[in-house]
Amino acid sequence: MAASGKLKSKRTMQNLDYDPTRASARRNTVVFAAFACLLAATGWYSLTTTLTEMTERDCAMGVQKACNALR
């Protein structure tokens, strides 16, 4: 059985290698900004979804303030 590294071409593997010490400052900035945006978006989505579900559950249990907040 062949090693998994031999199944991929060198060119493909070179494109996947990312070494921040050899990359330009602009590329590092773009990578960091993209990571920060994805992290922030994930956090925002998680919080808003969780809070909305909690409010819906409270409204189903009869809490009037929760039902008013959903309107």
Each residue's pLDDT tens digit, 20-65: 777 788 888 999 999 999 999 999 999 999 999 999 999 999 999 9
Q: How much is the pLDDT for 64?
A: 96
pTM: 0.59
d(CA 3, CA 22): 28
Q: How much is the pLDDT for 28?
A: 86
Q: Give residue 6's pLDDT band: very low, low, confident or very high (50, 70, 90).
A: low
Region of 24 on the Ramachandran plot (φ > 0 left; ψ -120 to 50 alpha; else beta) = beta
The string of DSSP letters for 15-70 reads HH---TTTS-HHHHHHHHHHHHHHHHHHHHHHHHHHHHHHHHHHHHTT-HHHHHHH
